[in-house]
Structure 1
């Protein structure tokens, strides 16, 4: 079924949240295998005029042409593993469109984070669809209006949940996963997307 749960009602956004998209057993198995198999890296990114280490570990997989540039770094995709290809198939069936790449983010503890941003790079097209699968420890996901400073909405993204951002969401909203001092288990996040050619 396409988007089985009710959409989140935010103006100028198209958000769908499926908090129990996976069974605990499948989520456990996928998490364990991905943690074991993934060649994690921590690249330097150009942010606010200086180079900084990514505050989490990452890996980029996709079709051969799915090269992706953000924060001054171009990411060349690793080839799909059998497990990631199967996860992609299931996510595509849920969202009803093809997806050719996935960014894996590993938040090892509460000090690993993702700063405020929108997924609005030109390679993602005019109205990108981002499908975000969470495995492992629960983390808070915040949304704010572009140009604003106040958090407008937050979700606790738990083990096996799927959040889909589509339509004009990236035009009007930013999101983050902030640092926290609360004890939290490692979280693995897979963000699937459709990457097109970059036109310079």
Structure 2
């Protein structure tokens, strides 16, 4: 399916995009949050300052001339950055840039992707799904703005240290996040007159998880760790992928491979909580790495290998997960094949078992990391 309809994807939910002639400021107004969310966030923010505030303005109506002056004379050239917030986030997650960082038709290729169908292998291969300038910008944005985890867990009596950094957002089909209320909330900039119009820290969801059927709060023992809603920067990307693949996803799982020693061993995403014949879309950003596929049982079937470049996307669908393993092998030397790489995977989870699995193996209970000054650093977050 062509993806040209991704133009203006920054407008999501009840958000609206506004423009100003000559001095353009692109702005997004999302759903309002609750006092409970922002009180919790304020306590967190006292312990960790937000990143530089130089990208985006969130408004409910165009700014007056006085409002622009209160924000500074350089507002039109350097809009104020906005952030996705939620009590489950260790720190606010920056939204995409309003200009140059917006996912639009000029950044997304319009080809339908190459169909690769060999027996029980069913793939959709985009070369590239996102053009290089945007792919590189997305890589830098996600690397610097997302919280990362180096998860350690016990499997078959052995302690496993995950050989990559991971993070995950989403919730399964049995539940939904409570919508934010229309009350004012979030950190604002400007004087008292303008504060109600300009907010830089905007909740992506309410604090409670509700049953998708009854709309009543889900019992606390259902989820081992509170599910985390998808931040707006990944929501935009998810919508583009959904249009290109004609699928719906409720989870975004992100991996960061810092160098050639980081890898993922042969496996398949065939767990019962993904349903029958799940569709998994995997977008590559950053360095080029080999993506290797091997049949589970048939030795007479040749393996498949793809050198995934920044912006490429492989979509595994149909009977692929039931019959094929896929992996990112380790690589040595100082080449493009060992350069840092992010892959963003999109999937649909049908029950709470899946939410708990992804939380356990991709967030865990260890320290939070953040990419700062060219290195992954542990962060201490206290309320």
Aligned residues: 193
Bigger radius of gyration:
2
Aligned match for 1:130, one of 267, 280, 285: 280
- Distance across 2 between alignment mates of 1:54 and 1:122: 22
Gapped regions of structure 1 (runs ≥ 5) = 67-73
1:60 matched residue in structure 2: 168
Aligned match for 1:25, one of 120, 129, 133: 133
1:42 matched residue in structure 2: 150
Whether 1:93 aligns to 2:243 is yes
Gapped regions of structure 2 (runs ≥ 5) = 3-110, 177-223, 355-383
Preserved CA contact (<8 Å) 1:19 1:162: yes
**1:78-132 alpha-carbon deviations (Å, 9 max, x no partner):** 2211110100110111111210001100000000000010001111001000000
Preserved CA contact (<8 Å) 2:171 2:349: no
- Distance across 2 between alignment mates of 1:156 and 1:145: 18
Preserved CA contact (<8 Å) 1:114 1:177: yes
The alpha-carbon distance between structure 1 residues 41 and 171, as it changes in their structure 2 partners (threshold 3 A), is: same
1:1-200 superposed matches below 5 A: 1=1, 4-63=112-171, 65=175, 77-147=227-297, 152-183=303-334, 184-198=338-352
- Distance across 2 between alignment mates of 1:199 and 1:140: 31
Q: Secondary structure at the match of 1:21?
A: coil
- Distance across 1 between alignment mates of 2:230 and 2:153: 24
Q: Give, in angstroms, the shift of residue 39 of structure 1.
A: 0.6
Q: Secondary structure at the match of 2:315?
A: strand
Point out which structure has higher relative CO (alpha carbons under 8 A, 6+ apart): 1
- Distance across 1 between alignment mates of 2:233 and 2:153: 28
Q: Normalising to structure 2: TM-score of the pair?
A: 0.47
Q: Normalising to structure 1: TM-score of the pair?
A: 0.88
Q: Secondary structure at the match of 2:273?
A: helix
RMSD over equivalenced CA pairs, Å: 2.2
Instruction: Give the structure with the larger strand fraction.
Output: 1
- Distance across 2 between alignment mates of 1:45 and 1:128: 25
The alpha-carbon distance between structure 1 residues 37 and 142, as it changes in their structure 2 partners (threshold 3 A), is: same
